[in-house]
Homo-oligomer: A and B are copies of this chain.
Amino acid sequence: MTVTDEYLSNNADYAAEFSGPLPLPPSRNVAVLACMDARLDVYRILGLKDGEAHVIRNAGGVVTDDEIRSLAISQRLLGTKEIILIHHTDCGMLTFSDDDFKRGIQDEIGIKPTWSAEAFPDLEEDVRQSLRRIENNPFVTKTESLRGFVFDVATGKLNEVTAS
Whole-angstrom distance between the alpha carbons of A29 and B116 in the complex? 24
Least CB distance from A142 to B in Å reads: 10
Check if A53 sits within 8 Å of B77, measured CB to CB.
no
Check if A47 sits within 8 Å of B155, measured CB to CB.
no
Size bracket, chain A contacts: 35 or more
Whole-angstrom distance between the alpha carbons of A29 and B70 in the complex? 26
Whole-angstrom distance between the alpha carbons of A14 and B156 in the complex? 7
Check if B77 sits within 8 Å of A70, measured CB to CB.
no
Contacts of A56 in B (CB 8 A): 36, 57-59
Contacts of A48 in B (CB 8 A): 7, 38, 41
Question: A45 touches which one: B11, B28, B41, B145 (CB < 8 A)?
Answer: B11
Contacts of A31 in B (CB 8 A): 36
Check if A22 sits within 8 Å of B153, measured CB to CB.
yes
Map CB proximity to B onto A82-121 as digits: 1 under 8 Å, 0 otherwise: 1010000010110110000100110011010111111000
Contacts of A66 in B (CB 8 A): 58, 64-67, 115
Contacts of A12 in B (CB 8 A): 157
